[in-house]
Amino acid sequence: MLYYLFTYNLPATEMLMLVLAYLIAIVFALMCHELAHGFVAYKCGDKTAKLEGRLSLNPAKHLDFWGSLSFLFVGFGWAKPVPINPLNFRNYKRDMALVSISGVITNILLAFLAVPLFMLCSRLDPSNLFFVFLTYLTMFLVVINISLAVFNLLPIYPLDGFNFINTFLKYGNKFSQFMYKYGSIILLVLIITGLFGFAFNYVANGILDLFLMFWGLMF
């Protein structure tokens, strides 16, 4: 992904702002995603994430080295999974589902709120480098948060989509057993080969178009 950014024919200063905006957006999106998991788990009765310092706005508490590198160079990545103990939940199925989907909802909400900021920043004076930086930052906040949400909705272990669906399946079912055994391999193959790239882009672009249409009607 960084290689793709460097293919833009931009002045050095603007290129630096582009890359910096991309990095900030990644860190913010991943941090909020994991923080949402921990916060919802805490509200559902599980203090594990809080006791391990994961209810924090410190990015270092959430970022995974290899997951961050993957996001930088491949376009997909992950953060450190938030530790939870479902035995502490007040209602196992309900709370497990809420915790599983909370990260995705957070990213969708962040992207939704970033769209009008991008629309505003893109209308500011393009000769002002600070305004250019804000335009890049809000653009990446939209794109990365939507991408992270759609990616995590895949029903493949260990993604949130699988955890959400698995909550409602019978214990020991064949789908879950298969995913626990091969999910990570399937995910790796999909990422490396780009097999689901078209469907991914179609869904992500569809969500973005809906957000743009909504906010376009508001302004």
pLDDT for position 3: 53
- Single out the residue of 14, 41, 91 nearest to residue 6, CA to CA: 14
Q: Where are the domains of the chain?
A: 2-218
- Residue 122 burial (CB count, 10 A): 14
pLDDT for position 195: 72
* Residue 195 contacts residue 189 (beta carbons within 8 Å): yes
pLDDT for position 216: 85
Flag whether the pTM goes above 0.85. yes
Q: Please enumerate in sequence order all residues whose Cβ is within 8 A of that of 91, keeping only pairs 6 or more positions apart, or say none.
A: 44
pLDDT for position 177: 95
Told to judge if 52 belongs to the known catalytic residues of this protein, a careful annotator would answer no
- Point out the residues of the chain with pLDDT beneath 50: none
Q: 55-78: buried (b, 16+ CB within 10 Å) or exposed (e) per residue?
A: bbeebebbbbeebbebbbeebbbb
| Residue 159 phi, psi (nearest 5) | -75, 165
Q: What is the tens place of the pLDDT at every residue in 89-118?
A: 999 999 999 999 999 999 999 999 999 999
pLDDT for position 137: 96
Residues 25 and 135: their CA atoms lie apart, in Å, by 12
pLDDT for position 4: 59
Q: Report, in this order, helix, strand and coil percent for the chain, each rounded to 5.
A: 75, 0, 25
pLDDT for position 75: 67
* Residue 93 contacts residue 168 (beta carbons within 8 Å): yes
Residues 22 and 108: their CA atoms lie apart, in Å, by 18
- Is 121 strand, coil or helix? helix
pLDDT for position 135: 95
Catalytic residue among 28, 34, 99, 152: 34
